[in-house]
Chain A
Amino acid sequence: MTGRNGTRARRAGATRLAALLAAGALLALLLTGCGVRPSAVVTGRPAPDGPAMGIRLYLVWHGQLAPVTRPVKQHLSREQVLRMLAAGPDGYERSQGLTTEVPPDLVPTAPPSSRAESIGLTVTMSGAVTTLSAIAADQIICTASGMAAEGQKPAPVTISGPDGSRPPRLCPY
């Protein structure tokens, strides 16, 4: 009899303990859940975009393409822009840590030709193009395709030179 009572008492005690623990956990949850807590990073709507003044060149910042703009007085051809790219960053750009991987002597020999739409744009350069680094090639490709007319579909760019040509490629941006 006493034994059974004891078991019952123990069981009741355990139940009470569990209830207390649950209540405590609830209370702790309520207390810690109060106020404004720090959160993880939440991703929302697309970031705003807009135009930039001047022409756009692609330089390199810490191994990544970085767009820069240069104010221009009049309309420039692709060829002229690619020549500007070959000339590399100016003083202020360099001071901002921007570099280029395009060799200074790599300039277009002729105005880039836009052939059939499927093939896209071909830029013929003066120097070796197959040995160019991928970044340098992307600099040229993005700068060239950035000159496209408004609303035009992105077209693959083929860089060719005296030593052959690189496969057509879209600007990775």
Chain B
Amino acid sequence: MNPWRRSGLRAAGLRVRLLLAFALLGLVTTAVVAGGSYLQARRVILQQAQDAAVVSLTDQLTKFYPIRQLPPQQEDLDRMAQLLSDRDGYAIVIYHDMRAQGSQTADLLTPELRRDVRDGDRVVWQRVSVRGAPALVIGAPLMLEQPDGTSEPSGVEVYAVRSLLSEQRSIDQLALWAWLTGGLCLVFAALLASLAASGVLRPVRELGRAAHRLGEGDLTTRLAVRGSDELTEVARTFNHTAELLERQVGELRRMEADARRFVADVSHELRTPLAAMTAVTDVLDEEADRLPGDAGRAARLVSEETQKLTRLVDDLIEVSRFDSGTARLALDEVDVAAAVTATLRARGWADRVRAELPPGVMARLDPRRLDVVVANLVGNAFRHGAPPVWLRLRAEPDWITVEVGDHGPGLDPETLPHVFDRFFKADTARTRSEGSGLGLAIAWENARLHRHAGHQGSLVAGNGPSGGALFTLRLPRATTDPAEAAESATAERAGAAGPAADPATVGPAAAGDSAAAGGVR
């Protein structure tokens, strides 16, 4: 997961958490307020309905006095029940085991209600559910006055059943309003939460973006410092850090550039005396056979070392060209198989290398650089690997691949990452080898110089499946002009170029420079 994606996720997490918190707050508040008022309203509605029904019932019951007869006749009960029944409900009148006829089923009279009416002297009521519909059952015993002012139950129980459907409808309406209010509040809370979240998260996101840019190498990144909250402090610290970093990196780059320029200058300065020395050693070489003993050996040694020094200086100049970015490609339409064959033949390796070269592979590249790379790889294979050395050319629609392998022990996995470092020596004991120590580094740079449409040539070191070192050179088939490439590369870097494209961070060049400087000193 790349850092940007991670920070994005974290921001989303914060947003989600804020949203959740606000939603929960809204939910709880709404539930408490709406629920509370709903319950209160329901209580009031029911209370009013019950009170009204109770008052109405007691009013009607007073009309039954004086009681004509106890025990009452069946028709008395029926009459009472009929008087009490209206469109709102009906009544059940009970005397002991007798019940007013036409009374609906007494199932809805709960035993507790019956007991409280029979044994008490007060009006009682209970809400029941009749086949899913709510109803209020009010029960009252008919009391008899006694001479002393107290009263006694007559044994007649009156139950009035009143439907609570209209109340239920009102209450359902209330509930609907409560739900609606709750939903609206929730939406409102979510809106507020997202507003707050974006308010809080915008600086965080900006910070993340700036850090990402800084990490990608854009050291001029700065944050706008606004307000005076904690995040502003962070932004200020960030800016300060970026400034320091920019200054230090700039210094390092300047020093590096100075070092490179120094190497380039030294190499150039060495060239003229070397040319003179080469001319002298050529003469010495011719005379060496005629010189006696040590003098001849010394002459040959001087000649050899001068040649080596010349090669080294040439390589150094080549490397400094890469470093200063002045290396230019001389592109040409090339038959790759022919070019490789020519390279092998020129070095006298044509018979010693098992070359697999399918004919007719045309590519647009710099033939001189291809020659340098192939010669270097094959030469290396001879020097460090074991024969037979083989070379294979493969063509893909957009790429050509040249593989060079040998049958030696292969590359040590530990040294593998440093193979292309400058002056890197796999065998530390062998301090002096025939090569300058820059060959593979130059080959690597040459491969990378070939680029097309954002793709870069590459040179990869590894070990073949059957043992032995295996170097794979991949070049685009249609390398674009270096001047254009440079332009497009600048455009790319301004866009979203990977860190690997930045010359400052390329391993071999950076690692090699100090070595190069040390080597010359």
Give residues 42-72 of B contacting A (CB, 8 Å). 42, 46, 50, 54, 58, 61-62, 64-71
Distance A172 CA – B140 CA, assembled complex (angstroms): 21
B31 in the interface (beta carbon within 8 A): yes
Distance A111 CA – B202 CA, assembled complex (angstroms): 106
From A49, A54, A68, B71 is in contact (CB under 8 Å) with A68
Distance A94 CA – B120 CA, assembled complex (angstroms): 25
A74 in the interface (beta carbon within 8 A): no
B97 in the interface (beta carbon within 8 A): yes
By the criterion of a CB under 8 Å from any partner CB, how many residues of chain A are at the interface? 50
CB pair A67 B148 closer than 8 Å: no
Distance A47 CA – B144 CA, assembled complex (angstroms): 10
Which of B58, B129, B144 has most chain A Cβ within 10 Å? B144
CB pair B144 A38 closer than 8 Å: no
From B24, B120, B171, A23 is in contact (CB under 8 Å) with B24
Q: Is the interface of B mostly helix, strand, loop or mixed?
A: mixed
- Tell which of A28-36, A76-84, A129-137 binds the partner: A28-36
- Tell which of A101-109, A146-154, A158-166 binds the partner: A146-154
Q: Interface readout for B96-107 with A: 1 if CB under 8 Å, 0 if not?
A: 111000000000
B121 in the interface (beta carbon within 8 A): yes
Which of B122, B145, B148 has most chain A Cβ within 10 Å? B148
CB pair A26 B71 closer than 8 Å: no
B243 in the interface (beta carbon within 8 A): no
Given contacts A19-B24, A47-B121, A97-B96, contact A35 B145 (CB under 8 A): no
Which of B110, B121, B123 has most chain A Cβ within 10 Å? B123
Distance A21 CA – B50 CA, assembled complex (angstroms): 36
CB pair B122 A46 closer than 8 Å: yes
By the criterion of a CB under 8 Å from any partner CB, how many residues of chain B are at the interface? 62
B154 to chain A, nearest CB (A): 6
A39 in the interface (beta carbon within 8 A): yes
Distance A158 CA – B142 CA, assembled complex (angstroms): 29
CB pair A47 B116 closer than 8 Å: no
CB pair B58 A69 closer than 8 Å: no
CB pair A50 B67 closer than 8 Å: yes
Distance A98 CA – B97 CA, assembled complex (angstroms): 11
From A41, A48, A49, B116 is in contact (CB under 8 Å) with A41
B112 in the interface (beta carbon within 8 A): yes
Note all chain A residues with C-beta closer than 8 A to B167. 36
**Interface residues, chain A, with chain B CB atoms under 8 Å away:** 19, 23, 26, 29-30, 33-54, 56, 61, 66-69, 71, 92-93, 96-98, 145-154, 173
Closest 9 CB pairs of A and B: A50-B65, A49-B143, A36-B134, A49-B151, A173-B152, A52-B67, A39-B127, A69-B70, A154-B148
Given A52-B65, A152-B148; 9 other pairs, CB 8 A cutoff:
A34-B171, A35-B134, A37-B134, A43-B116, A47-B120, A47-B121, A47-B143, A50-B62, A50-B145
